[in-house]
Amino acid sequence: MLKMLIMGPAGAGKGTMSELIASNFKVAHISSGDMFREEIKHQTHLGLQAKSYITQGLLVPDEVTIQMVGNRLKKDDCQNGYLLDGFPRSLAQAEAIEDFNINAVINLQIDEHLLVDRIVFRRICQQCGTIYNIKLNPIENAEICPKCCGKLYQRNDDTYEKLMVRLESYREETKPVIDYYRQKGIVYDVDAGQTIDDVYKQIESILKNVAEEETK
């Protein structure tokens, strides 16, 4: 059974790859953000605890997040495998789920210059939500959506300055986690600067090999 993590900085393609992995390997995709929203929506005890921190602009403590993930992984849709996205974010979190026996960590790596191009030149249509990149895939008018003629906008955190802050934070958070799993021999580095098809082919090959090893 595949019990996986996917890691990578903003813009590396975690969301796209997670959807493809979950669909093709028939595993549950567990995004930490979605999990928080679901718990808060249903006003569970853990959800209310998380909300109390989030509304103050504070990080949700490890013990709350860990318990939430533990409960989520016990649900029926995780019995055939799962893909964790956005968790663990700290060494303490990684150590806390040791008993779940993670067997593959997909580490999306990408050149910083390409990452800047992907994020800083990203534009989103206010009307239909279509995402464009006005540098990597130029369109006739960088302010108007060619699909619906809606206005294109740049997200507040899609600036160079904010991206640099996010990247530094990501490096500080994830290096101990990746080192922890690399010592276990289960980190698989993937070049996320390729086309979507080529990135997924590399991931698919890795996961098929892991799945085969698990059945031996």
Picking from 22, 26, 24, 3, the residue whose alpha carbon sits closest to that of residue 14 is 22
| Residue at token pair 């906008």 | 153
Residues with a catalytic annotation lie at: 14, 89, 122, 155, 166
CA geometry: angle 143, 149, 150, nearest 5 deg: 70
CA geometry: angle 32, 85, 160, nearest 5 deg: 90
31's tokens = 């995004």
**Residues whose CB falls within 8 Å of the CB of residue 52, separated by 6 or more in sequence, listed in order:** none
CA geometry: angle 204, 86, 108, nearest 5 deg: 40
